[in-house]
Copies of this chain bind each other. A is one copy, B any other.
């Protein structure tokens, strides 16, 4: 698959670039805001495309055309305020959904957050962030696209274990970013994840088994 990656410079994004860049099954085009980011990502095996999530839908549609799938793992991050949460995590994601529809890119996998679909379980200190993720996910679910929404628990930088638990509703727990990236990659082509949303934490199952048993 020709995979278009949004958020390639994020921590999960970089792992996805490495995995996709070294895959024989896929190729990866990484969206970057700044041409200076190109060199490093190209070394990891990605092509790069300059575009901005705060730009227009038509600019984004132009960037994604001829891709087979979009992975959205972008986020404005903790260092900016809720202004950017609204404009990047929510509106940016929604624009990318519209761009995918316009460009005829049917497959769309988004990295969300554990329990983003249940307001009562939102992390109290991060409620605005969870609200943005919640509505971005809703927009994707109500789109015409073949979506998968992956909602990982607390993200760790330790090495992946390859063992996860995936289900509609899971209690608060953590997972290495590497396992999230591996799960997103596996979900791309696993039909059992099509039009499905699930929580994801560390667990006892191999990633393929966890996805098949959703």
Contacts and interface: CB of A to CB of B under 8 A. Distances in A.
Nearest to A134: B91
Most buried by B among A86, A94, A128, A134: A86
A26 interface: no
A87 B131 contact: yes
Interface in A99-142: 119-120, 127-128, 131-132, 134-135, 138-139, 142
A80 to B, nearest CB: 10
Interface residues of A, number: 23
A91 B95 CA distance: 19
A16 to B, nearest CB: 26
A77 interface: no
List the number of copies, as a whole number: 2
A160 to B, nearest CB: 32
Nearest to A58: B120
A135 B97 CA distance: 14
Nearest to A91: B131
A81 interface: yes
A89 to B, nearest CB: 10
Interface in A166-186: none
A83 B139 contact: no
Interface in A148-168: none
Contact of A81 (B81, B94, B142): B81
B120 A86 contact: no
Interface of A: 56-57, 81-83, 85-87, 90-91, 94-95, 119-120, 127-128, 131-132, 134-135, 138-139, 142
Given A82-B128, A86-B131, A91-B135, 8 more contacts: A83-B127, A86-B127, A86-B132, A87-B127, A90-B131, A94-B135, A138-B139, A142-B142
